[in-house]
Amino acid sequence: MIENQARRRFKNSVIHLILFAFSLLCIIPIVVVASIAFSSESSLNDVGYTLVPSDPSITAFRYILKNSNQILRAYGVSLANTSLGTISSLFVISLLAFPLSRRDYRLRKPLAFFVFFTLLFNGGLVPWYILISKYLHLKDTIFVLFVPYLVIPWFVLLLRTFFSQIPMSIFESAKIDGASEFAIYSRILMPLSKPALATVGLFITLNYWNDWWLPLLYIDNEALIPLPALLSRMMMNITYLTTQMTNSFIQIDISNIPKESARMAMALLAAGPMLFVFPFFQKYFVRGLTAGSLKG
Partner 1 sequence: MKKLFMLTVLMLIAVFAFATGSTDEGAGSDISEPVTLTWYFVGSYPQPDQGRVYEEFNRRLMEKINTEIDFKPIGWGDYDQKMQVIIASGEEFDLAFTANWINNYHQNVAKGAFLPLDDLLDEYAPHLKSSVPQKIWDATKVVGEIYGIINYQVSTMTASIAFPTSLVEKYGLDVDSVDSLEDIEPYLEAVKNGEPGVVPLGVANLPETVIGYVNASLGFEEIGGRAVPGVLLNNNPNLRVVNQFATREFKDWVALMRDWNLKGYFPNDAIAITDLSPNFNGGTVGAGFEGNYAPGAEISASDRYGYPVSIAPISEPLLITSGIIASMQGISSTSQNPERAMMFMELLNTDKELYNLLCYGIEGVHYEKLDGDFIQPIADSGYAPNTNWEFASVFNAYKLEGMPETVWEETRDLNMNAVASPLIGFAFDPTPVQSEIAQCTSVRQEYLPALELGYSDPDELLPEFLEKLEIAGAQKIIDEMQSQIDAWKATR
Residue closer to partner 1 by CB (options 182, 249) is 249
Alpha-carbon gap, residue 88 to 129, rounded angstroms: 22
Whole-number minimum distance, CB 250 to partner 1, in Å? 6
Whole-number minimum distance, CB 222 to partner 1, in Å? 5
Residue closer to partner 1 by CB (options 89, 261) is 261
Whole-number minimum distance, CB 231 to partner 1, in Å? 11
Alpha-carbon gap, residue 78 to 206, rounded angstroms: 11
Whole-number minimum distance, CB 127 to partner 1, in Å? 8
Whole-number minimum distance, CB 57 to partner 1, in Å? 12
- Rounded to 5 degrees, φ, ψ at 39 are -100, 160
Whole-number minimum distance, CB 237 to partner 1, in Å? 4
Residue closer to partner 1 by CB (options 44, 270) is 44
Residue closer to partner 1 by CB (options 23, 244) is 244
In 109-148, the DSSP E strands lie at none
Alpha-carbon gap, residue 128 to 165, rounded angstroms: 35
* Residues of this chain that bind partner 1 (CB under 8 A): 41-42, 44-45, 66-67, 69-70, 124-126, 129-130, 133-134, 216-217, 220, 222, 232-257, 259-260
Q: Return the closest-CA partner of residue 150 out of 133, 134, 137, 132.
A: 132
In 110-207, the DSSP E strands lie at none
Residue closer to partner 1 by CB (options 114, 240) is 240
Alpha-carbon gap, residue 152 to 89, rounded angstroms: 9
- Rounded to 5 degrees, φ, ψ at 56 are -60, 140
Residue closer to partner 1 by CB (options 31, 130) is 130
CA angle 226, 228, 234 (to 5 degrees): 105
First to last CA, the chain: 32
